[in-house]
Structure 1
């Protein structure tokens, strides 16, 4: 079994522009009321979706803060600058989690939450440069010693 992710969009053109600008995603399939982007995300128009689930489109509520898309980016600081430049609505600004990973959450045009964080391999390497031992990094990040060692190679 293989899962895919499909989200609902009020405006597919706005959705395409947002994901292209921030994430460099391209449309790989366009069926007018449904698109698939590189990276595995698909979007369906709210009107089309309503017919599939046998609901009135007015009954479909977006922005419920109950689902998130997660992505990692190697240069998180550059991404944060892009978010600021584009005046993207934030769920919360850049923060450092207790395990040392930095990330932020934003809303897309339809109020879907997207978390963008640095890869854990970058966190591990940062901690190692700061002088933490493999065991200390393992304890801080909750990653196994074996995984930390692999990330440091």
Structure 2
């Protein structure tokens, strides 16, 4: 068995692609009509397909898992996030943990939880 990556569900894959491109530099590798493969092993699937295949409803903002990224210049990242996506919903604004790592947590436009922290 081989781990291939992470699939996240999006209401609109093109909107999600723009967000992940703007904020993390992901690029489109393949578009299969609502099923996209991006660089860094991230996959997007439109919610209509996901619900049809699984026979389940999407639970946005579920907090059960998160995408984790590291960024040395986290202040600049947060500034870009606030400029490009001022409507973004935060779980926690930029904070510093007791061990010195700075982190910010927020939901992408589809309610997928993201954490960005400085390298540990």
State TM-score, norm by structure 1. 0.71
Deviation at 1:38, TM superposition (A): 1.1
Structure 1 residue runs of 4 or more that deviate by more than 4 Å after TM superposition: none
Deviation of residue 2 (structure 1)? Answer: 2.9
Aligned to 1:84: 82
Matched, 1:73 2:71: yes
User: Greater CA radius of gyration, 1 or 2?
Assistant: 1
User: Going by fraction, where is strand more abundant, 1 or 2?
Assistant: 2
The size of the alignment, in residue pairs, is 117
Aligned match of 1:147: none
Looking at structure 1, the residues matched to 72 and 2 of structure 2 have their Cα atoms a distance apart, in angstroms, of 27
Structure having the higher helix fraction is 1
* Cα RMSD, aligned residues only: 1.3
- Look up the match of 2:101: 101
Q: Point out where structure 2 has 5 or more consecutive residues left out of the alignment.
A: none
Q: Distance between the aligned counterparts of 1:49 and 1:10, measured in 2?
A: 10
